[in-house]
Structure 1
Amino acid sequence: MTIQEAARRSGLSAHTLRYYERIGLIHSVGRDGSGHRDYAEEDLQWLEFLLKLRTTGMPIADMCRYAELRRMGDHTATERMHMLELHRERVRSRIAELTQDLKVLDYKIDNYRELM
């Protein structure tokens, strides 16, 4: 599929897709007969995972390291798993912080409701 189609389906801009390719987050995408990028379904699945990492706050440098390890093959699975476990703990900590923040907001809202 074209870069425009991949952008539409992934929710990323074509510029971001090119940037991700340039910094090594995605491998060099195949080219069609005209030399244009030709994304495959597997590319979209990888982009979907990258978006989850980004949404959960993984730094780009860590994402690049993960992508590099992935390209190196199965012998890096343990290191990749360890990276994801560490990131999962950071996400859990952030969820706990947000839960506490939400409790404060709920408390304040309840106070305003009592005044009204």
Structure 2
Amino acid sequence: MKIGELARRSGLSAHTIRYYERIGLLPYADRDGSSQRDYDATILTWIAFLRRLKATGMPIREMVLYAELRNRGPVTEPERRALLEQHRDRVSEHIADLQANLLVLDAKISGYAGAEKGTGYDDAGTPNEGRKPAGKRAAGARGD
């Protein structure tokens, strides 16, 4: 398939495909009789995997390293596995952080739902009944 069709089917731009070839993420394409790139359809599976790595935040330099290892063949499988395990650990940590942030957002949203019912939540998610405005605290009061 020509680069335009690969771009359409993969979701990458032709410019990105050429860039990925240049940096080693994609193998150089065969050329047809008129010197145009001619890709085998199997490259779509590799591109889909690269897109997953990118979507999960793997840096380009690690993606290139993975591609280099892949090109060297089965002897590099332990190294590739280790690279993917390290990346998976980072993704898992990121998911845990996102879940913790989601809990904070849910609590904040619940606080606002309570404010609509007159429970008086301020923007910090704490009850504001009985609190003095910031400029009218007693001398020596803590500002936390």
Give yes or no for TM over 0.5.
yes
More moved, 51-60 vs 39-48: 39-48
Cα shift at 1:101: 0.8
Cα shift at 1:5: 0.9
What residue is the counterpart of 1:80 in the other structure? 80
Cα shift at 1:16: 0.5
Cα shift at 1:60: 0.4
Runs (5+) with no aligned partner, structure 2:
117-144
TM-score, normalised via structure 2 length: 0.78
SS of the residue corresponding to residue 22 of structure 1 reads: helix
What residue is the counterpart of 2:70 in the other structure? 70
User: Of Structure 1 and Structure 2, which has the larger fraction of its residues in helix?
Assistant: 1
SS of the residue corresponding to residue 4 of structure 1 reads: helix
SS of the residue corresponding to residue 33 of structure 1 reads: coil
Answer yes or no: is 1:44 the counterpart of 2:44: yes
How many residues are aligned here? 116
Cα shift at 1:112: 1.2
1: CA distance, partners of 2:3 / 2:99: 39
SS of the residue corresponding to residue 109 of structure 1 reads: helix
Answer yes or no: is 1:13 the counterpart of 2:13: yes
2: CA distance, partners of 1:12 / 1:108: 39
Describe the superposition over 1:44-96 as per-residue Cα deviations: whole angstroms up to 9, x where unpaired.
Answer: 11000000000000000000000000001110011001100110001000000
Sequence identity (%): 55
2: CA distance, partners of 1:91 / 1:62: 14
More moved, 87-96 vs 1-10: 1-10
What residue is the counterpart of 1:2 in the other structure? 2
2: CA distance, partners of 1:99 / 1:28: 41
What RMSD, in angstroms, separates the aligned Cα atoms of the two structures? 0.8
